[in-house]
Amino acid sequence: MRARLGWRLAPTPNPSLAGRGTRAPERLPSLFREGLVGASAASLLLLLAAPALAVLPSEQLSDPVLEARARDISRELRCVVCQNQSIDDSDAPLAHDLRVIVREQLRLGKSDEQAKQYLVSRYGTYVLLRPPLRPDTWLLWLGPFAALGLGGVGVFAYLRSRKGGAPVPLTDDEAARLDALIEQDSH
Amino acid sequence: MSRWLFVLPIVLFAGLIAAFGIGLTKDPSAIPSQLIDRPLPTFALPGLTADAPGLASHQLTGRPQLLNVFASWCAACPQEHPMLTRIAAEGITVNGIDWKDQPADGSAWLARLGNPYARVGSDPGARTGIDLGVTGVPETFVVDKRGRVRYKQIGPIDAEAWETVLKPMLAKLAAEA
């Protein structure tokens, strides 16, 4: 509360500006507008700026096609030191070594799959950010769908039980009581 | 039937909690080795100095021994070093690979702390370490008589790991045909 009051009190007109003739108050808003435009332009430019690359210029291949393939492969490989980054994103020294190896494999004429396999044979499928579909990863890949299906079945069963069957007709006894109540009410 | 359905979500939830609880006790940085029960990858590394012997994979046969990957820049290695000295004193052959390190730095490090290794190979380019699936230092491989990797210790060997895991394993491997 106190902070809000302070904010309100702060932008009191500067008395020294008031004495500067009539043009000053006009110029001020225009300066303010220019500042706003500049700030917006700067933020837009910031949006355009590319994020810093972990891939060093010295690592890159001169062949742009091979380099593009290397980048794609690197994005699929986990950095074994930092683990939640791909080697393409990581600044770790070991990630650098692995990027160099991927490029070396491509230069040797290996396919994308073979280049990945080179590291998988050393570090296991763990290095693949997209694990393969195998019996031991079925739970990982299919678990979410199984959970969704189970939830769907639950919701379906619940909705069906709430709707219930056809309304049960009143027994003679109940009908008689209802008639009596209506009779009572109308008087 | 309907009462059983009410209990089901609670049972499932308890199962999830148990699975996550077990997951929390595991070390995510411990990546299982691909080399278990497979021969060491072939390598022949130079020594740390011109006159020091290097280390080649074919030398790691004949008796069960340890292959320890270390570096002078490694923070946990000085902590592990006295343990390696003790293991070597107990008559176990300990081989070293100085990984992602300048040989001069590695040999200075050993000169300062003492050298428990029978042989040390220098791997500044990291390739042998990568062939071994090393993710960091220190890591230690237990190699059997036939040069096959039987176990990998990730992180420094402490007294407990030595007494309860590595020492019994080496004794068992020594008894193997």
Q: CA A120 → CA A13, B32, B34, B141, distances in Å?
A: 69, 12, 9, 19
For residue A15, pLDDT beyond 70 = no
- pLDDT of the residue at A1: 39
Q: Which has the closest alpha carbon to B62: B158, B161, B174, B168?
A: B174
Q: For the ranges A19-23, A102-106, A163-167, B160-164, which has the lowest average pLDDT?
A: A19-23
For residue A4, pLDDT beyond 70 = no
Query: Given pLDDT bands bounded at 50, 70 and 90, which one contains residue A110?
Result: very high
Backbone angles phi, psi at A26, to 5 degrees: -75, -40
Q: Which residue of B has its CA nearest to A80?
A: B135
Q: CA B31 → CA A120, B141, B168, distances in Å?
A: 12, 14, 23
- Identify all chain A residues contacting B133, using CB atoms and an 8 Å cutoff: 122-124
- B76 close to B156: Cβ distance less than 8 angstroms: yes
* A32-45 tens-digit pLDDT: 667 777 777 778 77
Q: Which residue of B has its CA nearest to A155?
A: B5
Which of A81, A94, A124 has its CB closest to that of B34? A124
Could you tell me what percent of chain A has a pLDDT over 70? 78
- pLDDT of the residue at B162: 96
| CB-based contact A94 B34, cutoff 8 Å | no
For residue A160, pLDDT beyond 50 = yes
* B5-41 tens-digit pLDDT: 788 889 989 999 999 999 898 887 778 899 999 999 9
CB contact residues (below 8 A), chain B span 66-105, against chain A: 100
- pLDDT of the residue at A165: 64
| CB-based contact A93 B100, cutoff 8 Å | yes
CA distance B9 to A86: 36
Q: What is the mean pLDDT of chain A?
A: 80
Q: For the ranges A25-29, A158-162, B12-16, B119-123, which has the lowest average pLDDT?
A: A25-29
Which of B28, B29, B130 has its CB closest to that of A122? B130
CA atoms within 13 A on the CB side of B59: 17
Number of Cβ pairs closer than 8 Å across A and B? 35
First to last CA, chain A: 63
Backbone Cα Rg of chain B: 20
* B107-119 tens-digit pLDDT: 999 999 999 999 9
- Averaged pLDDT for residues A43-68: 80
* A114-156 tens-digit pLDDT: 999 999 999 998 899 998 888 888 888 999 999 899 899 989 9
Give the global pTM.
Answer: 0.72
* Buried-exposed string B12-46: b where 16+ CB fall within 10 A, e elsewhere: eeeeeeeeeeeeeeeeeeebebbbeeeebbebebb
- pLDDT of the residue at A23: 46
- pLDDT of the residue at B31: 82
Best A82, A94, A121, A148 member to test B by mutation, with max B CBs in 10 Å, is A94
Instruction: Give me the interface pTM, i.e. the ipTM.
Output: 0.83
Query: Given pLDDT bands bounded at 50, 70 and 90, which one contains residue A12?
Result: very low
Q: Which residue of A has its CA nearest to B40?
A: A122
Q: Which residue of B has its CA nearest to A94?
A: B135
For residue A27, pLDDT beyond 80 = no
User: In angstroms, how far is CA A87 from the centroid of its own chain?
Assistant: 20
Residue B66's DSSP bridge partners are B94, B142
The larger pLDDT score, comparing residue A84 to residue A6, is at A84
Q: Average pLDDT per run of 10 along chain B, which is 177 residues long?
A: 77 92 84 91 95 94 96 95 97 96 96 96 95 94 95 94 96 89
Contact partners, residue A87, CB within 8 Å, separation at least 6? A74, A77, A78, A79, A95, A98, A99, A102
Residue B175's DSSP bridge partners are none
Best B11, B16, B31, B35 member to test A by mutation, with max A CBs in 10 Å, is B31
- pLDDT of the residue at A17: 42
DSSP 3-state assignment of A80? coil
Give the other-Cβ count within 10 Å of B82's Cβ. Answer: 13
